[in-house]
């Protein structure tokens, strides 16, 4: 995929739908139609989809890829970044996950850190 917004979400399930809606707005605002959602949680995949379903269906016109990563799989997510022609990276989290979200950004390679468009976790 080209011209991708790579969105990193570290959140509890209750706040996930609103954060996903924000991701779609950010994608459109940055003139991209391709969004890669990376949700970092230890919840099972089916639970994440259950909470995210409505927000995903509301914005079906965008090209979406969705990955759910366990907290111990951050290195795999960082590797996945290399597969995309990224326009920008956006980081978003719930309040109680700010520390974990910051740790994820620290692991990004320097050349990818420069693509950070917005960090909602600061």
Give the whole-number percent of the chain exceeding pLDDT 90.
84
Q: Does 27 score more than 90 pLDDT?
A: yes
CA gyration radius for the chain? 13
- As a whole number, mean pLDDT of residues 72-101 equals 93
28: exposed, middle or buried (Cβ count in 10 Å: 0-12, 13-18, 19+)? middle
pTM comes to 0.92
- As a whole number, mean pLDDT of residues 46-68 equals 90
85: exposed, middle or buried (Cβ count in 10 Å: 0-12, 13-18, 19+)? exposed
CATH of 4-119, one of 3.40.50.800, 3.40.50.2300, 3.40.50.300, 3.40.50.11100: 3.40.50.11100
Instruction: Give me the residue label for tokens 């991209």.
Output: 32
Give the whole-number percent of the chain exceeding pLDDT 70.
99
Report d(CA 19, CA 38) in Å as an integer. 12
Q: Of 13-22, 55-64, 75-84, which range is least confident? A: 55-64
What pLDDT shows up at residue 40? 96
């Amino acid at each position: 995929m080209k011209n991708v917004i790579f969105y990193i979400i570290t959140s509890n399930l209750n706040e996930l739908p609103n954060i996903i809606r924000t991701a779609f707005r950010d994608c459109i605002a940055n003139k991209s139609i391709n969004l890669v959602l990376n949700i970092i949680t230890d919840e099972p995949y089916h639970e994440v989809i259950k909470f995210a379903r409505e927000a995903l269906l509301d914005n079906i016109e965008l090209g979406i890829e969705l990955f759910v990563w366990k907290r111990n799989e951050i290195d795999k997510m960082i590797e996945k970044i290399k597969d995309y022609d990224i326009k920008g990276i956006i980081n978003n989290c719930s309040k109680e996950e700010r520390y974990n979200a910051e740790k994820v950004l620290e692991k990004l390679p320097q050349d990818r850190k420069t693509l950070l468009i917005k960090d909602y976790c600061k």
